[in-house]
Structure 1
């Protein structure tokens, strides 16, 4: 029998079950009652098993006992399953289109007539076409659930548990504080140094480290070397703080890639001391973010680093990217389209492994070449500046950074990208604040990026139009790409909009100040543009003073008025250069703005709705 026949039999048999008054009558008989209770028990057990299956949902969600909640649970579960099926089908059709395949008469998919190629995943070329690299693969299961990764997204400062604290207990002490930059400058062997280009990737031993045994073997290799190159691959889109997905390490003779998702709890234990060891040189490129990712995910703090990105700046190269260094010094053309690929993908395609290896394979050679160039430059320099020392000072300062968790404050919403130029009134600004707070709370609890929960542009669009009905909200976001958390929380979002609109008075002052600051910035930028154009034409133009007005006597929102901030002083007018204004305004855009108003504008009933909703929410 086929499936449709079974379904028809099931539907027909249900019609024989008594209903309404007949059911209550039959329920008085023990034989009928026991049978119904047994069916109910088995159904409950089956639904509980389905709901708690992390293989299906990515996170367990027990079946509710209340009948009304149970009905809603089933409806939501069906919606999630159908959404997942839609995603998989869309992804399948996208790949079919890219691979130029079609369905044959036998039901199997094959390449179109006259086409040859390989059906593959990210990075596998087929039919001579260049594949599109996706930064987010919708069908991937979140590694947080797959590998049971424990993260602390609480709205509390990050604790550097592997560091000592100062005597007053107010700050953490980086191990570099006990060392000097001069401890790392190695000039002694540079004059006799002859850089040796490493062999090609295919001729170099390689190990993909996916278990603790492999990690111990890597640790043994690092214990016997004086220097090694390091790089990380990271994913920010589907977690609140981000996840380090891979660690690439190269010695002079071997390449390693560590699966830091599988081995997250073990990487620090086995590798921490090698990164901290001041006698071992660590070579990285553009390490600003790598340094804090190592601290956050593995408790690793780096001592004695040479940053080739900083060296390229001191050498004043044409470009500072690793791609340029590979081409300039090694003649290697790196495929940087995988830089923003979804590095959560497992198993890793060969093309992504190749990309990862290239990031460190040549780095020790580049380090040698750059050291020689810097040393020669210092010998030619007549001044007291030492280019090689400057690189180590810059690298030292990069290592001294300490990771800080993003915290939600009353004024955090003012940092929303695009808000300053939106021209919002107090009512609209209150909506921004409410949505921003809701998004942050939900992103922390679900370990999602705020951009995946509710993109900045959508927050601004909702605040601009302030929809107060679900239908209006649906129409507003209809043209956007799929926003699962918005779709599941229409009622909560509408509730936030309504309650926030009632608190407009508390946001009027902040709205006015944002408009004033934006106007001042626009005027300063225009004047700077005019001055630049005049200078290019050879004219000597005196830039006029900034006009006085409401914003003149007050500093940018949330800041005291430092000298030269672009706003004339209360006690006396003085000329302010346009460059100062633009510099001040630009720096202000990057700083948190504090307001004198409270943005905790979610009423208790909204918070309650949020908590109950997020508990049962399906992630993917």
Structure 2
């Protein structure tokens, strides 16, 4: 359909249509009503086709029939198109600037490397990658099992860390400084022929450096996007998306060979990624990250080691880049090479220093052996798939400090089950399907009609949420009415949170002479939650995967206590109540005011006495109480049935993916329970009435006016 033609036609004819009372008058005549209904039909058809155009914004969204919802739909659709245009323009600028360097965006500002580029086609589709996301433990099919069949046996169990310690005298070791990257041969491996040649070269050397680039955001278990390998003379980068099924068969033996040293930095995550994606198990590793800790260096990051030992300033901006992009820009290829190009030289320098310090030390500690023991333990870790259990929802960041009642916990549990099923079926990260922050906000307000849910979601632009608003509301309704199973858990979380706040106050509030609590310092006691939903690579620590968050479950701020605060007792009460998720009323009567004045005066008179300080601490603790709860419904906890995807076909070589489309064999991920028979308004009124019951936690939302 020619959208431009119809839009122009509709726009030109609209001024001729009468409005207001004139419209209703003419609408009584079929000569007028017929063309108007035809225009409405054609407009509806056009909008439906625009909404279902997945090639525009990657999802389908039917045009709603409700007038208010239709207006919101049009506004959101318009914003989506504009955002998509902006993203495409930014991507074009990135490509023109070698695909990732900072460049001006037309407004005098500089754009940074994006951790997620929405326009990239998912590698699972582009390269027919299929993984086993079934809610079952990961099977290390290439490993032997113990006699009792209860665990897998890592090849390292037949060896010890002592087998890998350098036998030669390191006093005479001369570090081999690598040539410049411009003078070093480089090979980008993206086919089986290149893998075969690389395997032959690695078979002829005794040591090589390894690093991986990973993407976590748009897959359930994560995807290894690149593997960088450096020998003393050459650099290699393997496109592990293109040759994913062949990496293991060609490189597995050289990684397993205990006579070949593998040098990695911060290898905790690399080790399990190699197992998960390629069935590779590493033997004989030297982790330069662990060596930097044993040497008690100023910092442990690879960036610091490159600068300290090699004088190289690494551009760590690209460690958060979207490594799924193809073709890889030159600047990203260079960044990947830097991570391994200098690593064998750093390995030489660290071995010498470890050996020297051990020799000079009066004690018997062998620092070099300590590094190999730590590296050995890291290699022994086996990958475990994240599984959904009945208690999985309790691990959501921020939940334990939210002060939720049983109804709200039931909602969180139901949403987590729904999210997990979709993420496994579509091979998406759970945070992309439904971020933790949105789950907590939905549970906090418990919307039972779609319009209220829309207000909560706002302009988050979450495709799974936008096309599943009715499903989410259905989950909220059912969970609220089946909250009895969560009553005990809600009470336990309340008690744990109260105890943690009390312990925090014991540790951090030291009542000293002429001191008061400064309310401006306790902002972190709020239960408001802000959490980023993505994870990115990090080489500053032992692992490479860290969650980026703006707050923590338990407040870690140390409270300062300034002088001369007349409302000290009230401040303390409000502080502890806020930390417990409650709302404490300000004293209004003369008796309450007198209590505050007397308390303040008494504190001033006896501020130098230790006994009074202990009394004050007891008052603080006593203000942290557990409010009563109101629960709706007595039935058992509702179950949203998740049908996990069928296990991939039997893998003879390793648990590698098989060719095929991810969505082609995808089963129905969710079996939803039937909705309640109550109307939306009745349900919302019921929620409002229950919230007005005495003793109910103040976190239960009230209907917006």
Alignment TM-score, normalising by the size of structure 2: 0.63
Select the residue among 88, 98, 102 that pairs with 1:92. 88
Matches within 5 A, 1:10-49: none
Following TM superposition, by how much is the alpha carbon of 1:122 offset from its aligned partner in structure 2, in angstroms? 2.0
Q: Which residue of 2 is the match for residue 500 of structure 1? A: 479
Classify the secondary structure of the residue corresponding to 2:497.
helix
Following TM superposition, by how much is the alpha carbon of 1:84 offset from its aligned partner in structure 2, in angstroms? 7.9
Q: Would you say 1:520 and 2:499 are equivalent positions?
A: yes
Q: Which residue of 2 is the match for residue 285 of structure 1? A: 265
Change (3 A) 1:518 1:243: same
Structure 2 distance, partners of 1:484, 1:4, is: 26
Q: Which residue of 1 is the match for residue 335 of structure 2? A: 355
Matches within 5 A, 1:414-493: 414-480=394-460, 482-493=461-472
- Bigger CA drift: 514-523 or 341-350? 514-523
CA contact (8 A) 1:87 1:139 kept: no
Select the residue among 292, 302, 312 that pairs with 1:312. 292
Structure 2 distance, partners of 1:214, 1:95, is: 30
Following TM superposition, by how much is the alpha carbon of 1:123 offset from its aligned partner in structure 2, in angstroms? 2.3
Change (3 A) 1:451 1:130: same
Following TM superposition, by how much is the alpha carbon of 1:484 offset from its aligned partner in structure 2, in angstroms? 0.4
Structure 2 distance, partners of 1:452, 1:489, is: 14
Change (3 A) 1:435 1:386: same
Structure 2 distance, partners of 1:3, 1:508, is: 55
Q: Would you say 1:156 and 2:194 are equivalent positions?
A: no
Structure 2 distance, partners of 1:461, 1:241, is: 26
Change (3 A) 1:174 1:321: same
Structure 2 distance, partners of 1:159, 1:525, is: 42
Structure 1 distance, partners of 2:452, 2:97, is: 43
Q: Which residue of 2 is the match for residue 179 of structure 1? A: 159
Structure 1 distance, partners of 2:299, 2:201, is: 34
CA contact (8 A) 1:212 1:263 kept: yes
Deviation per CA, 1:439-469: give whole Å up to 9, x if none: 0111000100000000000000000000001
Q: Would you say 1:122 and 2:122 are equivalent positions?
A: no
Structure 1 distance, partners of 2:433, 2:388, is: 16
Q: Which residue of 2 is the match for residue 413 of structure 1? A: 393
Q: Would you say 1:371 and 2:351 are equivalent positions?
A: yes
Classify the secondary structure of the residue corresponding to 2:410.
helix
Structure 1 distance, partners of 2:178, 2:244, is: 30
- Bigger CA drift: 127-136 or 204-213? 127-136
- Bigger CA drift: 380-389 or 80-89? 80-89
Following TM superposition, by how much is the alpha carbon of 1:4 offset from its aligned partner in structure 2, in angstroms? 5.9
CA contact (8 A) 2:113 2:317 kept: yes
Pairs aligned (count): 476
Q: Which residue of 2 is the match for residue 572 of structure 1? A: none
Classify the secondary structure of the residue corresponding to 1:229.
strand
Matches within 5 A, 1:46-85: none
Q: Specify every segment of 5 or more residues in structure 1 that has no aligned partner in the other structure, as ranges.
A: 10-46, 62-77, 100-116, 537-596, 614-620
Q: Which residue of 1 is the match for residue 371 of structure 2? A: 391
Deviation per CA, 1:575-609: give whole Å up to 9, x if none: xxxxxxxxxxxxxxxxxxxxxx975522799xx99
Deviation per CA, 1:489-509: give whole Å up to 9, x if none: 000000000000011111111
CA contact (8 A) 2:641 2:671 kept: no
Classify the secondary structure of the residue corresponding to 1:408.
coil
Structure 2 distance, partners of 1:6, 1:181, is: 74
Following TM superposition, by how much is the alpha carbon of 1:333 offset from its aligned partner in structure 2, in angstroms? 0.6
CA contact (8 A) 1:433 1:599 kept: no
Following TM superposition, by how much is the alpha carbon of 1:180 offset from its aligned partner in structure 2, in angstroms? 1.4
Q: Which residue of 2 is the match for residue 133 of structure 1? A: 113
Change (3 A) 1:354 1:433: same
Classify the secondary structure of the residue corresponding to 2:172.
coil
Classify the secondary structure of the residue corresponding to 1:191.
helix
Structure 2 distance, partners of 1:308, 1:532, is: 46
Change (3 A) 1:184 1:83: farther
- Bigger CA drift: 84-93 or 426-435? 84-93
CA contact (8 A) 1:216 1:270 kept: yes
Select the residue among 204, 213, 222 that pairs with 1:242. 222
Following TM superposition, by how much is the alpha carbon of 1:167 offset from its aligned partner in structure 2, in angstroms? 1.1
Deviation per CA, 1:204-249: give whole Å up to 9, x if none: 1111111111111111110110000000000000000000000000
CA contact (8 A) 1:335 1:355 kept: yes
Following TM superposition, by how much is the alpha carbon of 1:192 offset from its aligned partner in structure 2, in angstroms? 1.2
Following TM superposition, by how much is the alpha carbon of 1:126 offset from its aligned partner in structure 2, in angstroms? 5.8
Matches within 5 A, 1:200-349: 200-349=180-329
Structure 2 distance, partners of 1:161, 1:190, is: 39
Select the residue among 170, 176, 185 that pairs with 1:190. 170
Following TM superposition, by how much is the alpha carbon of 1:168 offset from its aligned partner in structure 2, in angstroms? 1.2
Classify the secondary structure of the residue corresponding to 1:443.
helix
CA contact (8 A) 2:210 2:340 kept: yes
Following TM superposition, by how much is the alpha carbon of 1:380 offset from its aligned partner in structure 2, in angstroms? 1.2
Following TM superposition, by how much is the alpha carbon of 1:54 offset from its aligned partner in structure 2, in angstroms? 11
Structure 1 distance, partners of 2:3, 2:407, is: 56
Higher relative contact order, chain-length normalized (CA < 8 Å, sep 6+): 2
Q: Which residue of 2 is the match for residue 107 of structure 1? A: none
Deviation per CA, 1:103-151: give whole Å up to 9, x if none: xxxxxxxxxxxxxx95553226469975411000010000001100010
CA contact (8 A) 2:227 2:239 kept: yes
Q: Specify every segment of 5 or more residues in structure 2 that has no aligned partner in the other structure, as ranges.
A: 10-48, 61-73, 514-557, 559-634, 644-666, 673-705
CA contact (8 A) 1:307 1:395 kept: yes
Structure 2 distance, partners of 1:7, 1:472, is: 32
Following TM superposition, by how much is the alpha carbon of 1:522 offset from its aligned partner in structure 2, in angstroms? 2.1
Classify the secondary structure of the residue corresponding to 2:170.
coil
CA contact (8 A) 1:434 1:599 kept: no
Classify the secondary structure of the residue corresponding to 2:262.
strand
